[in-house]
Amino acid sequence: MIILGIETSCDETSIALLEASYKNKVFLIKPLNSVISSQIKIHAPYGGVVPMLAAREHAKNLKTVFQETVFPIFPSFASLKQNLDLIAVTRGPGLIPSLLVGVNFSKALAWAWQKPLLGVNHLEGHLFSFVLPEKNKKIQISNADFQKIFPAIGLIVSGGNTLLVYIKERGKYQVIGNTRDDAAGECFDKGARILGLSYPGGPAIAAEAEKYKIKNTKYKIQKLPRPMLDTKNYDFSFSGLKTALLYAWQKLDFKTRKKLLPYFAFELEEAITDVLVKKTLQAASDYKVKSLILGGGVVANQRLREKIQEQLRVQKMTLNFYYPMLEYSTDNAMMIALAGFLNYLKSTPKEREKLKWQNVFADANLTI
């Protein structure tokens, strides 16, 4: 099958083409091409994503991103139309103005070309992004392989979500933990803004924290809190951490701030990752799972991955640990095409008849 993926839930406009099949209990997955157009420069002056600006940029960029994805594989729209089997579009969760642009674009295509259209949950896309190989590489994964992976605990950490999900088997999810306020990525972004660093905050904080580790400054003055670290649940809260950083930072004069910037970046990264790691491993142990799966933009954080690996070793937990390649950790349409394909396979002939443009709707608050 050839699947066209479309993703516009936040500030990345992305289109992907995936070739996938399922035969003799084996999935064959081959990413053909994908383009991600990031709006970072547009939103950077505001320190976060401005929903109406994001929607306007999606509308402006979709046509170009679509052509750049498709034409290297199919020389004309006619040949794409002939070969295309399924369109998969992110229908939520996300920013509603952004979602509507992608969903309406996909509806127009599905209507004009009479193709099945499947609305994908963005979070499910993140949970399966670890399966994707690099462009033009084909991987095989059997049902037996999936059985070795599940049950699993999934941690989805991005600018908009911080979720712990118990995945009993492929397609069966239970949210066991959520953030009560800000998402982990949002804490990186807002923390960076307080410290005068660039947007998106995650990479900026990580780079600044790296300087602290190298210099090992002796000005280690104030620890930041680790919110909800010891609570007997899997929920998170990051807004208090952001406020603690703000108050600590406001007390300092200009000269001291300059000296302590790497320390505060380091401390913020440590505080966020300490809580994520502890809750995730606790969930893995309580639910007696076989694997840990990470997804979402914050997975790009090397310290987070290192700490999980370190704690798995220290706590002698023999779990499979999966996370996506960098290009599939932030928002991308390839993971949407993959989740669309997996859902298509699961659907009954009756359900397939309903995969029409009239039946797909954006839902900003969709949960998994």
List all residues 6 or more positions away from 226 whose beta carbon is below 8 Å from its beta carbon.
Answer: 241, 271, 274, 275
Residue 330 near ligand KG4 by CB under 6 A: yes
Phi, psi of 356 (to 5 degrees): -120, 160
* CA dist., res. 154 & res. 368, Å (int): 12
353: amino acid identity, one letter: E
* CA dist., res. 84 & res. 320, Å (int): 35
- Looking at 202, 227, 262, 324, which residue binds ligand KG4 (CB under 6 A)? 202
* Region binding ligand KG4 by CB under 6 A among candidate stretches 29-37, 77-85, 102-110, 197-205: 197-205
Phi, psi of 335 (to 5 degrees): -65, -30
Shortest distance, position 126 Cβ to ligand KG4, whole Å: 7
Shortest distance, position 202 Cβ to ligand KG4, whole Å: 2
Site map 152..171 versus ligand KG4, x via CB under 6 A? ------xxx-----------
- Looking at 124, 182, 267, 331, which residue binds ligand KG4 (CB under 6 A)? 331
Residue 31 near ligand KG4 by CB under 6 A: no
Residue 188 or 344: which CB sits closer to ligand KG4?
188
- Looking at 47, 133, 171, 203, which residue binds ligand KG4 (CB under 6 A)? 203
Site map 246..265 versus ligand KG4, x via CB under 6 A? --------------------
Site for ligand KG4 in 294-313 (CB under 6 A): 296-298, 300-301
Residue 97 or 297: which CB sits closer to ligand KG4?
297
CB-CB contact of 142 with 261 (8 Å): no
* CA dist., res. 125 & res. 331, Å (int): 9
Shortest distance, position 22 Cβ to ligand KG4, whole Å: 27
List all residues 6 or more positions away from 345 whose beta carbon is below 8 Å from its beta carbon.
Answer: 22
* CA dist., res. 120 & res. 186, Å (int): 23
Residue 116 or 185: which CB sits closer to ligand KG4?
185
Shortest distance, position 318 Cβ to ligand KG4, whole Å: 27
In 3D space, the residue among 158, 283, 184, 275 whose CA is nearest the CA of residue 233 turns out to be 283
Shortest distance, position 32 Cβ to ligand KG4, whole Å: 22
| Per-residue tokens: 255 | 């000269």
Which residues, in sequence order, are bridge partners of residue 166? 153, 174
Residue 97 near ligand KG4 by CB under 6 A: no
Q: Is the dihedral of CA 311, 200, 58, 55 positive or negative?
A: positive
Q: Which residues bind ligand KG4 (CB under 6 A)?
A: 10, 158-160, 185, 188-189, 200-203, 206, 296-298, 300-301, 330-331
